[in-house]
Amino acid sequence: MSTTITPVEPTEPAPAPGDRRWPRRFVRPGAAALSGLLLFASFPPRPFWWLALPGFALLGWTLRGRRPRAGFGLGFLAGLGFLLPLLKWTGEEVGPLPWVALAAVSALFIGVVGVGIAAVSRLPAWPVFAAAVWILGEAARARVPFGGFPWGKIAFGQADGMFLPLAAVGGTPVLGFAVVLCGFGLYEAVRLVLARRGANASRAEAGADPDRPAEGMTRPVPRAAVAVAALSVLVPVVGALAALPLVDDSAEDGTATVAAIQGNVPRLGLDFNAQRRAVLDNHAKRTEQLAADVRAGKEPKPDFVLWPENSSDLDPYRNGDARLVIDDAVKAIGVPTVVGSVLSPDTGKLRNSLIKWDPESGPVATYDKRHVQPFGEYIPMRSFVRIFSSDVDRVRRDFGPGDKVGVFDLAGTRVGLATCYEAAFDWAVRDTVTHGAQLITVPSNNATFGRSEMTYQQLAMSRVRAVEHSRAVVVPVTSGVSAMIMPDGEVVDESKMFTPDALVRELPLRSSRTPATTMGTLPEALLVAVAVGGLGWAGARTVRARRRADSDGVS
C-alpha cells in the first residue's frame, strides 16, 4: 500500500517585537519602488538616460527567483514608482484621481511582467528572456484597453542615450529591449562575480585551493553563465555602435525651409480654448508677423508653414470669420500652411483635423486624427466614469477617428502627419513614412497640461521617431515647446513655453527607409515570441519539478 504525501511549504513564525528579520521584509519592496523611481529619473527633461540601467539591475535583483505572487506585487510597486511621477501631468487640471487611476492601471501591466520575469529568472540566459518579457508587457500596454497607452515605453527615455541608434534597427521595441537587457545583464554580472568570490572565500577558509575545484566538484560559477552575463551587457553596446551608420542627417532629396508657428494661448489649463477666437488670432498674427519679417529680410521665406493642433478650434468650414482670419494669414505668408482645427459636422462625431490651406485655393485637403485620446477626446463608459469625476462632462461631444494615413504634398515636399498623441504609437508614425513622407510633423497642443513635464516627454518621442525613420521632425505646439529635429534626433531649434514664436529652419528631406521602417512590427513580434518561448520553458520546468516532487512523496 502506498501513500501520497503532499509537501507543505514551511511558514515563518510571526516576528517577535525586536526581531531583526522584520525590517528585512521591506527590503525587496523598497528596492522595487526604488527601481521604478530610477526609471522615472531616466526620462526627460532630465538628461540621466543611463539611470535606466541601474534601475533594471535593481529590478532584476528584486525579482530573480521570486514566486509568482511576490513577482506581481514587486512588479506592481516598481510600476507605481515609475509611472506615478511620470504621469503626474495627467492630473494637472482634473485632480489626483484620474492620474492615480491611470498610473495604477498601467502599473498592473508591469505587475504581470514581474510575474513573467520572476518565472524566467530561473532559466539559463534569463536576462534575454526577462528583457523580452518586458517588451511583451509594453506591447500589450500599447494596445489595450481602449487602443492602448504606450506612454512610458523605455525607448522614449533614451533620446539622449548611447543606445538611440538601435531605434533605426528595429524601432522602439529593439531600443527598449537593448536597455532592459543591458540592465539585467549588469545585475547578473555582479551577482556572478559576488558568487565566485563567496565560493572562493569559503574554499580558502576550508584550506582548499580556490582556483582549483576539489575532486568530484564543478566550478561554482559555470562559464556559460558568465558568458551570458557578459554578452547581455556587451551585445547592446556593440549593437548600438554598429548601428551608428544608420543615423544620417544628410539631404537625400534636397532641403525644405519650414516654419513652425507657436501662437500661445490666452490661459492655461482645461479652459485654454474658452477664448477660441483668441487662440486662432494668436496664430494668425504670429504668421503675419513672420510674413513681415520675410519681406524685411529678417527671415528666409519658408516653403510651407505648420500650425499646431487646435490652433483653430473654430471650424473654418462653418465659421466665416475663422475662415477669413486663416485665409488672410496664409495669403500674407504666401505658401501652403497646415492648420490644426476642430471640425464639427451637423451629425456624428467631431474631428480633430489638420487642414492643408493653399494661399490661392483655400482649404484643399484634410487629415483626421486616427487615434483619438480616450478620456480626453472621447469618454468611454461615460455614465460610469462620471461617478468618479464630473470633468468628463467637459467633453460634451466625442471625437471620432479618421481612417486615412496623413501625408500632404506641401510645395513639392511630402510631409507625414501624426497629431500629438499619435506620436506615441509606432504604427501611426511609420505609416506616414511607408506612404512616402520625406519629413514628419507632430502638431500638438500641450496647453491643457500647463508647465508640466508632458511637453518634454512628448518631444523626446519625436526625437526617437526621427532616428527610427531617418526623417527630420517638426513639432509645432500651441504653447511650447515647439521644436525642429534633425534625422539624427538632434534638436536644432526650439521655443520657450507659453511664448509666441516662429521657428524657421532649412531641413533635409529623405526618402530611404531604415530597417525599422522596412520591417515594421516584425522585431516586436520576434521579441514577443522569445518572451512566450521563455515563459513556456519556465512553465514546463515547473511542471516537471512538481511531478518529481510528487513522485518523491510516494512511498
Q: Report, as residue numbers or ranges, the catalytic residues.
A: 309, 369, 420
> Would you give the DSSP letter of residue 267?
S
HEC per residue, 33-100: HHHHHHHHHCCCCCCCHHHHHHHHHHHHHHHCCCCHHHHHHHHHHHHHHHHHHHCHHHHCCCCHHHHH
For β-strands 407-410 and 337-343, DSSP reports them as unpaired
Distance CA 220, CA 204 (A): 14
Residue ranges in 318-386 assigned as alpha helix (H): 320-333, 382-386
Distance CA 112, CA 146 (A): 19
- Residues counted in the chain: 555
Query: Which of 543, 517, 363 has its CA nearest to residue 437?
Result: 517
Distance CA 477, CA 261 (A): 8
Dihedral of the CA atoms 200, 201, 203, 207 (nearest 10)?
130
Contacts of 81 (CB under 8 A, 6+ apart): 32, 33, 34, 35, 36, 37, 39, 40
Distance CA 421, CA 149 (A): 10
| SS3 assignment, position 24 | helix
